Amino acid sequence: MEIYYYILFFIFGICLGSFYNVLAMRLPKGESIIKPKSHCPKCLHELKWYELIPIISFIIQKGKCKNCQAKLSFFYPFTELVTGLLFVISYYSFGFSYDLIIALILVSVFVLVIVSDLSYLLIPDSFILIPSILILIITILESGFEIGIRQLAFGLFAFLLMYFVMLLGNKLFKKESLGGADIKLMFLVGLTLDPMLSILVIFLASIIALPVSLFLLVKNKEHIIPYGPFLMLGLLIVFFMKMDIQEIFNALLTWF
């Protein structure tokens, strides 16, 4: 029976991953997600239903448009696959629980942020606001109104902390060091975790981003490096491991 759920979550994930590609490619440009229908970006050929099957259509068509044979971006099936795998990992980690719902929401934000931030260096507010509201509602349903208020306070703390980091970075580097969306993402981080784990997310995201940033800067010193994907990756890692990390923190506090 378990394998059935894994398959179900994978299929659900790749289908949503395909939809997230549409959201993240169109909403930052102010385009409708309904019209025009999905099409080849080169010849504008309107895709049929059998050309829209996540991952499978890309493989069958050998990564090319059926009409004009233009190469399609590998990014599309990649994000579909990542979404599907992360949905499976979410179910494996949390089973059917409130944490599973939060994990699926965070995975969804992660995918949306990757596509949007890498494509346009822009993260629409809706990608942060709607998930934040959903997570707050789930927190209240699971733990009560008081805990919900506490997490709101944690979210505000994380937001202000990131704002301070931005001001410090701007002063040190004499230019904009963080985007406004990165600061707003920290509210989502704080809403999900406690302050200590929120700080850990910033540290972890910076560690992961460092080698990538150095590589890109060597290639192009003017290249702008989106921080949102690293921040969301750090959040996912900490959220999936939060119980083990919390135990480590508790042990350190006891030791000292």
pLDDT for position 168: 85
Local structure of 32: helix, strand or coil: coil
| Contact assessment for residue 29 and residue 107, using Cβ atoms and an 8 Å cutoff | no
- Mean pLDDT check: name the lowest of 88-92, 177-181, 186-190, 245-249: 245-249
Instruction: Tell me what the mean pLDDT of segment 91-106 comes to.
Output: 95
pLDDT-derived band of residue 114, with 50, 70 and 90 as boundaries?
very high
pLDDT higher than threshold 70 for residue 243: no
**CA-CA distance, 222 to 226, in Å (whole number)?**
13
| Contact assessment for residue 182 and residue 167, using Cβ atoms and an 8 Å cutoff | no
pLDDT higher than threshold 80 for residue 165: yes
Local structure of 208: helix, strand or coil: helix
* Reported pTM: 0.90
pLDDT-derived band of residue 83, with 50, 70 and 90 as boundaries?
very high
Local structure of 71: helix, strand or coil: strand
Q: Could you tell me the residue ranges of all domains in the chain?
A: 1-96, 97-256
pLDDT tens string 183-240: 999 999 999 998 989 999 999 998 998 887 777 666 665 567 788 999 999 999 999 9
pLDDT-derived band of residue 250, with 50, 70 and 90 as boundaries?
low
pLDDT for position 180: 82
pLDDT-derived band of residue 65, with 50, 70 and 90 as boundaries?
confident
Q: What percent of the chain has pLDDT over 70?
A: 89
